[in-house]
């Protein structure tokens, strides 16, 4: 297939690079280090089970849920799969 100025496989390389960037971004947002016993936002106790399940946890479930919601709203990524879904 003729691709103009692009090299063969350039589209696949771009897709793979985009995926790799997303994986790196997600990994950089994971907590690390010692877990806190109390939430750094509201000072509520963080249950032992949560501290063991999520190493490096710094927020209680309520504060973490709120932070996740805010990050999702401010995300600049278009998560829709096709142009058709954008037109509806």
Report yes or no on 52 lying in a domain: yes
What's the 3-state SS for 10-52? HHHHHHHHHHHHHHHHHHHCCCCCCCCCECCCCCCECCHHHHH
Say if residues 39 and 63 touch (Cβ distance below 8 Å). yes
Q: Answer yes or no: is 56 within a domain.
A: yes
| pLDDT score recorded for residue 86 | 52
CA distance 65 to 11: 36
- Whether residue 48 is contained in a domain is answered as yes
The count of structural domains within the chain is 1
Asked, for residue 64, whether it belongs to a domain, the answer is yes
Please report whether residue 63 resides in a domain: yes
User: % helix / strand / coil in the chain, to the nearest 5?
Assistant: 50, 0, 50
pTM over 0.75: no
Asked, for residue 3, whether it belongs to a domain, the answer is: no
> How do the pLDDT tens digits run along the chain, 88 residues long?
555 666 777 888 899 999 999 999 888 888 788 899 999 999 999 999 999 988 899 999 999 999 989 888 776 655 555 555 555 5
Question: Does 37 fall in a domain?
Answer: yes
Short-list 76, 70, 22, 77, CA closest to 59: 70
Tell me the Ramachandran region of residue 39: left when phi exceeds 0, alpha when psi lies from -120 to 50, beta otherwise. beta
Range of the domain at 43: 33-72
- Residue 41 within any structural domain of the chain: yes
């Amino acid at each position: 297939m003729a691709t103009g100025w692009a090299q063969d496989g350039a589209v696949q390389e771009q897709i793979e690079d985009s995926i790799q960037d997303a994986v790196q971004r997600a990994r950089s947002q994971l907590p690390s280090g010692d877990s806190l016993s109390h939430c750094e936002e509201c000072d509520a106790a963080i249950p032992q089970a949560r501290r063991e399940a999520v190493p490096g946890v710094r927020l209680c479930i309520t504060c973490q849920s709120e932070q996740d919601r805010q990050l999702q709203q401010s995300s600049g990524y278009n998560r829709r799969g096709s142009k058709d879904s954008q037109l509806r």
